[in-house]
Structure 1
């Protein structure tokens, strides 16, 4: 097929027809045609040539041009698409090519009034593409490195193979345009619910029609044992949209917690309007779920609004989720109070919250234990997901036994270290003293409130406690030195001799070693494994009740002392962090 006047307009008509059918920009189809024609021309004139094709958007006329770039003599590699400055000048002298340049120098003189001294001219480099038609022997058009010599070449005759290749290029470009359109359309819809038509099932995964394109509802994203037939219309949540070599992949879900939140937003006008907010959602898809809500209008009950008249609103969500039971819980900023609500319908006797380790201990009556844990641990697991805390559930009897064991252990500690009888040691524990440091360094007035303790007794108690602690410190220093701990670490402020001994046992023996530690290596922490379970990381100094903040401050102080960090930079970072925290508050 030759590009003649008879079929020039057919190019544009074909482009418009394909664009209408695929719902894409006609310009993309024309660009694909230009690329396909250029590829066919290269097969005719030579693959090393830079052949370009431009189709006029009005007449459909295809112009074939050969482009050669002006380069320095040292950089000349491809003689078909590159040429030197001398060769370009020779062509301009004898032929009539077009010289294309992207470097245009413009000299402009600013305006000035008559009688004023003319200001200096301003020279500007304009970054635009300019084509100059050169006449033979024209010395005003001088080639420079980076210019392009453009020659028009005769149109090519497209044979069967070339026409097939052109067709493949056009189809490929059209597919890429369709994929890009699909990606752009669904990228901004991540986190929303859409209605889709089931097309087929592949290895347990459901392929749905999205118009344009297809989406995948994976087997593990279906609720329970949901089964669908081709032609079924279902609601799905757009979980993720990714660009991949085979085209954009749109991942759908019916098990995501966000799916339930979006369903409630559709059923409860107060949530859609922002009067009620969903703070957290935890799901065991197809079985049970918990959703925490809060109302910003005191006259509206968030739980009642989500339940609806005679349960109409929540039942609509339950029906969509294949009968999944839903507990609607009022949100509370106080975490223990919120946890008590989250463990409903179980009754809670007491809650002990450890903020540092993000663990919470719940005490329930014996008869409420199975209800609090739930079938196969479902209730406590959902409550843990909802609050983001690790929950330990104890019965009142178990908690009593544990408290008794702690009382006895502390009593024995005071008896052995302070040489006290059992009754006096029990008095100390009953008053809230848990370790020797509290006895040694507490204000003496707190000891005097104990029955039978006068000033002399209080002084004797504190002296014994201090002597014991000092002896323990000396022994710990000796053991740390025996393990190889250096004085730079032993004398570092903030570390006790026992801490230095623990560090030395873990092969942290110098201040440099200590400065390379991460805060979680010292204080411990929690990480999440591949199965989504929280795993405890034991810290070297965790037994000394060191927090992450304290560990971070100690490590940073060590780095400053070693000159690794500029103290002014640290101060600036802390000030910026404090300012950001204040802005968020």
Structure 2
């Protein structure tokens, strides 16, 4: 097929027809045609030639040109597409490296194979343009709900027609044992939109907590308007869920608004989620109070929060234990997800037994170390003393308030405690030196002899060794693996060294060794402070603008 005047306009008409059908830019189709014609010309004139085709967007006339680039003599490799400066002087004045020489060549006759190749190029370009359009359309819709029609099911995954493309609902994103037939209507949450080699992939979900939040936003106008906010969602898809809400209008009950008249609003969400039972819980900034709400319908007697470990202990009556835990641990698991805390549930009897064990352990400590009788040691424990350091260095007034303890007795108690601590320090330091600890570590400010001994037992024997430690290696911490929080024991954790204290000590050691310049450190801190202030000012300006609007 030759590109003649008779079919020049047909090129543009074909391009516009394809563009309308696929809803893409006609210019992209014309570019694909230019590339396909250029490939056909190369097969006719030689693949090493740089043949380019330009189609006039008004007349449809295709112009074939051969392009040669001016290069240095030693860089000349392709004689068909390149020429030297000397060779270029025959065709142009004062040629420079990088200049291009263009010559128009006759149009080519497209045989059957060339025409087929051109068709493939055009189809490929059109498919790429379709993919780009589909990605651009859906990339900003991630995090929203979409309605679609089931097309087919492949290996448990559901392929959904979402209008201008297809999306996939994986089997692990379906609720329970949901099954769908072709042409069934389905409502899903757009979890992710990714550009992949085979085209944009739209991943749907019906198990994501965000799906429930979006459903409530559709059913509850107060959530859509921002009067009520969903603070947290935890789901056991198809079975049970907990959702925490807060109202920014004192006249509106967040729980009641989400339930609706006779439960109409929450029932609409339940029906969409295949009968999933939903507990609507009022949000509270106070974590223990929020947790008590989250464990409903179980009653809680006592809550003890460990903020550093992000753990919380909950004490419930014996008859409430099974209700608090729930079937297969469902209730406490959802409450844990909702609060982002690890929850330990125990009965009042178990808590009492644990407290008794701690009481006896501390009593024995004071009996053995201070040479006291059991009754006197129990008095100390009852007054809240937990270790020898508290007895040794507390103000005398805090000891003399105990019945039967006068100034002389208090001084004797403190003397015994200090003597025992000094002896322990001496033994610890002696052991640490036997293990090979250097004076640079022994004399480091902030480390007690027992700490030095603990470090030596963990093969940290010099200031250089100490400076290479991470803060969590010293103070301990928590890591999450496969969704489970695990405890990392710290070398100095038993001495109640916090993460901040560990950071300060390690940084001080690095400064003493000359690894860190204090001036640079201060400059970095000042820069961070300035950035924080600028962020605060920006937020303030935005808030002011919104208020003005």
TM-score (norm 1): 0.89
Whole-Å separation in 2 of the counterparts to 1:404 and 1:43: 92
Secondary structure of the structure 1 residue equivalent to 2:304: strand
Q: Which stretch of structure 1 is more off in the superposition, 462-471 or 222-231? A: 462-471
Secondary structure of the structure 2 residue equivalent to 1:39: helix
Please identify which structure carries the higher helix content. 2
Whole-Å separation in 1 of the counterparts to 2:434 and 2:80: 78
Tell me the residue number matched to 1:53.
Answer: 53
Tell me the residue number matched to 2:508.
Answer: 557
Between Structure 1 and Structure 2, how many residues are aligned?
536
Q: Which stretch of structure 1 is more off in the superposition, 497-506 or 307-316? A: 497-506
Which residue of 199, 210, 215 maps to 2:151?
199
Secondary structure of the structure 1 residue equivalent to 2:5: coil
Q: By how many angstroms is 1:546 displaced?
A: 2.1
Q: By how many angstroms is 1:406 displaced?
A: 0.4
Whole-Å separation in 2 of the counterparts to 1:439 and 1:173: 82
Tell me the residue number matched to 2:497.
Answer: 546
Q: Which stretch of structure 1 is more off in the superposition, 498-507 or 166-175? A: 498-507
Tell me the residue number matched to 1:99.
Answer: none
Tell me the residue number matched to 2:255.
Answer: 303
Secondary structure of the structure 2 residue equivalent to 1:569: helix
CA root-mean-square deviation = 1.5
In the alignment, structure 1 segments of 5+ residues that lack a partner are 93-140
Tell me the residue number matched to 1:257.
Answer: 209
Whole-Å separation in 2 of the counterparts to 1:376 and 1:539: 33
Q: By how many angstroms is 1:567 displaced?
A: 1.6
Tell me the residue number matched to 1:129.
Answer: none
2:537 is aligned with 1:537? no
Tell me the residue number matched to 2:43.
Answer: 43
Which residue of 357, 365, 373 maps to 1:405?
357
Whole-Å separation in 2 of the counterparts to 1:558 and 1:73: 61
Secondary structure of the structure 2 residue equivalent to 1:512: helix
Tell me the residue number matched to 2:168.
Answer: 216
Q: Deviations over 1:429-459 (max 9, x none)?
A: 1111101111111122111111121222212
Whole-Å separation in 1 of the counterparts to 2:90 and 2:469: 70
Cα separation, partners in 2 of 1:148 and 1:183, compared to 1, 3 Å: same
2:34 is aligned with 1:83? no
Whole-Å separation in 2 of the counterparts to 1:511 and 1:435: 29
Correspondences of 1:356-395 after superposition (within 5 Å) = 356-395=308-347
Whole-Å separation in 1 of the counterparts to 2:130 and 2:320: 58
Whole-Å separation in 2 of the counterparts to 1:76 and 1:447: 95
Q: By how many angstroms is 1:484 displaced?
A: 2.5
Whole-Å separation in 2 of the counterparts to 1:238 and 1:217: 9
2:345 is aligned with 1:431? no
Whole-Å separation in 1 of the counterparts to 2:74 and 2:516: 48
Q: By how many angstroms is 1:50 displaced?
A: 1.4
Q: By how many angstroms is 1:578 displaced?
A: 5.2
Q: Deviations over 1:162-193 (max 9, x none)?
A: 11111101111111111111111111000000
Secondary structure of the structure 2 residue equivalent to 1:7: helix
2:417 is aligned with 1:465? yes
Whole-Å separation in 2 of the counterparts to 1:368 and 1:23: 62
Q: By how many angstroms is 1:79 displaced?
A: 1.9
Tell me the residue number matched to 2:547.
Answer: none
Secondary structure of the structure 1 residue equivalent to 2:510: helix
Tell me the residue number matched to 1:137.
Answer: none
Q: By how many angstroms is 1:491 displaced?
A: 1.7
Whole-Å separation in 2 of the counterparts to 1:202 and 1:154: 52
Whole-Å separation in 1 of the counterparts to 2:310 and 2:528: 22
Q: Which stretch of structure 1 is more off in the superposition, 536-545 or 145-154? A: 536-545
Cα separation, partners in 2 of 1:540 and 1:287, compared to 1, 3 Å: same
TM-score (norm 2): 0.95
In the alignment, structure 2 segments of 5+ residues that lack a partner are 541-549
Tell me the residue number matched to 1:121.
Answer: none
Tell me the residue number matched to 1:283.
Answer: 235
Q: By how many angstroms is 1:19 displaced?
A: 0.6
Q: Deviations over 1:330-356 (max 9, x none)?
A: 000000000000000000000000011
Whole-Å separation in 2 of the counterparts to 1:191 and 1:89: 62
Q: Deviations over 1:134-189 (max 9, x none)?
A: xxxxxxx4221221111111111111111111110111111111111111111100
Tell me the residue number matched to 1:339.
Answer: 291
